[in-house]
Structure 1
Amino acid sequence: MSHTIITTGATRGFGRVAAERVLDGSPEAHLVLLARGTAGTELASDLSRKGYSVTSIPTDLLALGSVRDAADEVAARLDSGELPRLRKLVGNAGALFTNDMTQSRDGFEATFAVNVLANHVLIRRLQERFEAASRIVITVSDAHFGDFRHNKGMMPGPSWTDPTELARISAFPRPETVTAGGIAYSTSKLAAIHLIHEYARRLPSEVDIVGYNPGFVPGTGLTREAGALVRLAMRTIMPLTTLTPLASTQQEAGRRLADVVLGLTPAQSGSYVDRTSEVPSSAQSYDPDRERRLWAVVEDLTRPFTS
């Protein structure tokens, strides 16, 4: 039966792989790409030539007004019948900066804005449009564990503080450093998992939400805002890690994300899928008091864009 799938982060990397695999597995679906610049239009044209139903809506995830407008355009098209019923939302876009001093258009710390606030605006603006048996998938990261076993020293662990501080620049020591940027990233992914738990409690029972961890995937667009040396290492050195168990290829990560979206990987609402199976997230990620506090702050920060 025809339905709509909305996705961010589908124009490059494993998100691009996942988009086509989702359409292969659900050929009756209409895919809506939310992407910055012309990338979404180009991908929509490419996929349409292959016989898929695809629409692109220009969206800047660093500007919550743009996210709101994109969600409202989707809602209007759903209400008019231009788009079939909404069944899936994939929040795959992510950002990693080499400092903790980069601001979004709205004055939020940029990593937190993309990895947490943008997804929240999309979900809150569209939550009443989801039909029964719907699924939301948010790409998270094992960086939220903050230990050597999961990160192999490649990413500093999260450092939780009050969410009102996490949403602003310079929340961590030496905010101008790469280390502070890494802490902002891993902390934002911990925040995303906290919110997934809270969404699972608050969304209608027929709408489930799952966090998907692809593992380390070299060569994605995640570090596009990073410095030249970091981007060079990600393009030339880090891909060699896919020959080891430390990393996944883009094809592997994309296929696994598509399996979660399509429901081929069993996962309960509020759960954490590590590559191919549901597993517990970190011990610190289960904290109902922290989750309720985070929810209240995020609701307050995004109210101009969700009301």
Structure 2
Amino acid sequence: MSEWTTADMPDLSGDTVIVTGANSGLGFEGTRAFAEAGATVVLACRSVDRGESAADEIRTEVPAADLDVMELDLGDLDSVETFAESFSDAYDDLRVLCNNAGVMAIPRSETADGFETQFGVNHLGHFALTGHLLDTLRETDGESRVVTQSSGLHENGEMRFDDLQGERDYDEWGAYGQSKLANLLFAFELDRRLDAAGIEGITSLGCHPGYADTNLQRRGPEQAGSTIRLAMMKVANAVLAQDAATGALPMLYAATAPDLSGGEYVGPSGFMNMRGPPAEDTPSREARDPERARRLWEVSEDLTGVTYDLPEAAVTAD
């Protein structure tokens, strides 16, 4: 079987796609590929100026690109709700929602709503966004997909329900691993609840990029003011990482490959699942734990105030 590339993506003309964090890295490369396939792509970005610059750059390579930059700050639940309302006013359908944006291993800070930033942005912001857009996803003809970007480092994550916000004990990499584990617990629980509701038109999947060279790795050392860590990260990216365009392939595969079903997990198929073409991957046992996922779902609804009109899935071992 040949390796999957963007050339294998279907024609997406007439389809609408949202990519969070679309102005750089994996989001930028994913947006460009969706645009090349004919989709209308909404670049959901915290900075509209950076989003417009990214859109202009894509248009130089894809002159026919249909791009729409809209403001979205995942660290502000009011911004998430405003974005969803603006999108729903402008669009009647949503083929793919790519929950891609994130922050990694940064010093402890808090979102506008008082959440620890990595948990708040990486998980809670996307949880709220998906909930606000669920009706639009349901009303879209044919199949819609929700693709949530995780990381191989979810395997190191632990849901610390007694200290989710890292108020008593904060470790930047521990908080990142927790947020990425939360991404998968959410992705798989959403799929279970959609099945329990008998909704066949939406599938929810998880993915990870392997080790991809993006700005994400640099922000933690930069915010911590560590020139040594920043230099080490730059060397590691240059020596070990694949480029961002290749790192975006698992997200694109999860979003468009016809042979995938809900609840699957996609990542690179090469060395240690850190690089190479996309294929189905195996998440950690914790990520498949339905009881842990149910508890996270309830906490997420309480924290965000966003509830889903979906029945609780039966808790059975995977």
So what's the TM-score if we normalise by structure 2?
Answer: 0.80
User: For 1:154-165, what aligned pairs fall within 5 Å after superposition?
Assistant: 158-162=157-161, 165=163
Count how many residue pairs are aligned between Structure 1 and Structure 2. 274
- Larger RCO: 1 or 2 (CA < 8 Å, sep 6+): 1
Structure 1 residue 271 and structure 2 residue 270: aligned? no
Contact 1:208 1:269 in 2 (8 A): yes
AA matched with 1:181: E
Q: Once the 2 structures are TM-superposed, how far is the Cα of residue 47 of structure 1 from its aligned partner?
A: 3.2
Unaligned 5+ residue runs, structure 1?
Answer: 80-84, 147-157
| Secondary structure of the structure 2 residue equivalent to 1:210 | strand
Offset of residue 261 of structure 1? 1.9
Are residues 1:78 and 2:72 paired?
no
Match of 1:45 among 52, 56, 77: 56
Among 243, 251, 254, the residue aligned to 1:257 = 251
**CA-to-aligned-CA distance 1:151-199 (integer Å, 9 cap, x gap):** xxxxxxx23321x631x23253xx2xxxx01000001111111111110
Q: Which residue of 2 aligns with 1:192?
A: 183
The equivalent residue for 1:103 is: 110
2 CA distance for matches of 1:120 and 1:267?
22
CA distance in 1, matches of 2:250, 2:282: 18
Distance, in Å, in 2 between the alignment partners of 1:260 and 1:306 is: 23
Gap regions ≥5 residues in structure 2: 1-12, 269-277, 310-318
For residues 97 and 192 of structure 2, what CA distance do their matches in structure 1 show?
A: 18
C-alpha deviations, 1:110-160, integer Å up to 9, x for none? 0001110111111100111111311111110110112xxxxxxxxxxx233
The change in CA–CA distance for 1:17 and 1:282 in structure 2 (over 3 A counts) is same
In 2, the alpha carbon distance for the partners of 1:96 and 1:254 equals: 17
The match for 1:154 is none
Is 1:237 the counterpart of 2:235 in the alignment? yes
Tell me, yes or no, if the aligned pair for 1:97 and 1:223 is still in contact at 8 Å. Answer: no
Query: Which residue identity does 1:161 align to in structure 2?
Result: R
Q: Which moved more, 1:14-23 or 1:116-125?
A: 14-23
What displacement does 1:300 show?
Answer: 1.1
For the residues of structure 1 that align with 2:70 and 2:217, how far apart are their CA atoms? Answer: 21
Please report the TM-score for the alignment, with normalisation by the length of structure 1: 0.82
SS at match of 1:224: helix
Supply the RMSD in Å over aligned alpha carbons: 2.1
User: In 2 relative to 1, CA 251–61 (structure 1 residues): closer, same or farther, beyond 3 Å?
Assistant: same
Corresponding letter in the other structure for 1:91 = N
User: Which amino acid is 1:170 matched to?
Assistant: E
Q: Distance in 1 between matches of 2:50 and 2:231?
A: 22
Percent identity between matched residues is: 27
Contact 2:250 2:266 in 1 (8 A): no
Q: Which residue of 2 aligns with 1:141?
A: 151
Aligned partner of 1:153 in structure 2 is: none
